[in-house]
Amino acid sequence: MNINDQTSMIYPELSLNIIAREQHNISRKQISDNALKVLYRLHGAGFQAFLVGGGVRDLLLGGQPKDFDIATNATPEQIKGLFRNCRLIGRRFRLAHIMFGRDIIEVATFRGHHQETTKNVSQKSDAGLLLRDNVYGTIDQDAERRDFSINAMYYSIDDYSIHDYAGGIEDLEDRLVRLIGDPETRYREDPVRMLRAVRFAVKLDFDIEEDTAEPIEELAPLLRDIPAARLYEESLKMLQSGYGLETYHLMREYNLFQQLFPRVAEFFTEDYESPAEQMLDLALDSTDQRHDEGKRINPAFMFAAILWYPVKALADHFMQSRKMTEYDAIMEAGNVVLDEQVRSTAIPRRHTATIREIWQLQLRLPRRSGKRAFRLMELNKFRAGFDFLEMRGEIEQGETKELAEWWATFQNAGRNMRQAMVADLDDGGAKSPRRRRRPKKSKPKS
């Protein structure tokens, strides 16, 4: 098979459909001023300039895009020469970031087919994974290289038309997520596309087109070859963007969640009723609610919840096999589970430290006698620890639920009421036993 045949098999020849300005609903008033500045400057310098991808898709759907990405035939170096507020990033594919304070407009050079270049700027693994991709081409080639039809539409700043290369308009109307090219080859080229297919389907309330969906379950293990840092970022997009609960269920259906959280997958059941699965539902539903209410979302809390019952099960094993105390067993099990997890999703150290604090608080919150309850409430991570305890109470019921209810009352009570609550614990025999001090060694007589 020659190079041209191989290229056409992976990237089929697309049919360009140009939608004139009067035939679509996108107006420049909907595009950010900073994105328009970049588009006009590139166009004024003689380069092609298009708003592309999710920005075009979301505007056509009547939404407000989170980001405005731009594609051009200018190279990264040429872009940098036009904008003093530009920095070049990326090794796998070189990108230009034009910075307007906190607003960043991402500009990408049209990508070409890596099979057709002799330059040492493209690299694939033996399994077909694209490792490096600084190959530049035409807008037609760039459209063929894009992942989904609904992301292969380009808004031209020249005449305000939309260039639809892969039937994206039709797929928007049919509410379909469809991969461009041969699905198995494109997934092998970049396995993260499987995650993106699920994320777009849930976010847009679309279906995944049949041929696009068919290979996912079998090819899901390819995600293990993706750098853990990239999968960490993808996990946040999947689970913390307001659709986490629904996304988790669809990921699980396609065997994708199991690749990112292999230790958690050991606790999956047919009826979704294990404590680990109940915690996943509670934690992700809570995260979705916080997102909808515009509240801050801490990734550490989500990961602490997802991993808690695997940690607890391993700790129980350590207490039996190694005769460890509960505290030592939880801490040791936490280290083991986190060390495994960061190999799949590279959770930053600042978050793993918080995760350990939340778990540690589960062991400290039952100890409320004397001044301990007052001191615990002063801890920086008390609220996260308490919120986590409430979720555990909802799942475990019994003493855990009673403890969570006690803390809920204690937080809202006045000073006198709090002292009375602690006194009741002490009178009821809940006072923690004092540690016996070792007798001091007598000094030898001189």
Residues identified as active-site? 67, 69, 147
* Pairwise CA distance, residues 108 & 95, whole Å: 5
Coil/strand/helix, residue 148: strand
- With CA atoms as reference, report the closest residue to 131 among 95, 96, 91: 91
- CB under 8 Å to 294, separation ≥6 — which residues? none
Give residue for tokens 């009352």: 409
Give residue for tokens 């459909």: 17
Rg value, the chain, Cα: 27
> Is 223 in contact with 256 (CB distance < 8 Å)?
yes
**Residue 291: both structure tokens together:** 């997102």
69 bridge partner residues: 52
DSSP label at 182? -
* Pairwise CA distance, residues 216 & 344, whole Å: 18
For residue 140, CA distances in Å to 57, 61, 72 come to 18, 24, 12
> What value, to the nearest 5°, has the Cα angle with vertex 215 and ends 211 and 219?
155
- CB under 8 Å to 172, separation ≥6 — which residues? 57, 60, 61, 150
HSE-up (13 A, CA, CB side) for residue 33: 1
* Pairwise CA distance, residues 281 & 245, whole Å: 6
- CB under 8 Å to 267, separation ≥6 — which residues? 274, 275, 276, 277, 309, 310, 313
Cβ neighbourhood burial of 107 (10 Å; 0-12, 13-18, 19+): buried
Distance spanning both ends of the chain, measured CA to CA: 96
Query: Which backbone phi and psi does 342 adopt, to 5 degrees?
Result: -70, -15
Query: Which backbone phi and psi does 364 adopt, to 5 degrees?
Result: -90, -30
**Pairing label, strands 176-177, 207-208:** parallel
